Amino acid sequence: MSRLTRFVKYTEKVVRNSMKRLLVLLLMVVLGVSVSAKVLFQDTFDEETDDWKLGMTLEVYEGCLNNDTLGLSLDAELLGEEFENCVIAGTFQINEWGKNGALRILFRYNSLFESYWLSFWPTGIGIHRFTGTWESGTLLGSNDSPAFGALGTHTFKIELNDFTFKVFVDGKEVLKVSDSEKEFPVGGLLLRFDDVALSFDEISVDSL
pLDDT value of position 37: 74
Q: Running DSSP on this structure, what letter comes out for residue 187? A: B
Residue 118 has a CB neighbour count (10 Å cut-off) of 21
pTM higher than 0.75, yes or no?
yes
pLDDT value of position 129: 97
| CA 115/CA 131 separation, integer angstroms | 7
Residue 204 has a CB neighbour count (10 Å cut-off) of 18
With CA atoms as reference, report the closest residue to 40 among 158, 205, 199, 202: 205
| CA 55/CA 172 separation, integer angstroms | 31
**What are the distances in angstroms from CA 111 to CA 83, 116, 175, 184, 190?**
14, 10, 24, 11, 9
pLDDT value of position 5: 47
| CA 19/CA 184 separation, integer angstroms | 48
pLDDT value of position 201: 94
Q: Would you say 115 and 190 are in contact if contact means Cβ atoms under 8 Å apart?
A: yes
Q: Which residue type, as a one-letter code, is found at position 57? A: T
Homologous superfamily (CATH) for 39-207 = Exo-inulinase; domain 1 (2.60.120.560)
Q: What is the DSSP string of 34-55?
A: HTS--EEEEE--SS--TTEEE-
At 102-116, the pLDDT tens digits run 999 999 999 999 999
Residues of the chain with pLDDT under 70: 1-21, 23-36
For 62, phi and psi rounded to 5 degrees? 55, 40
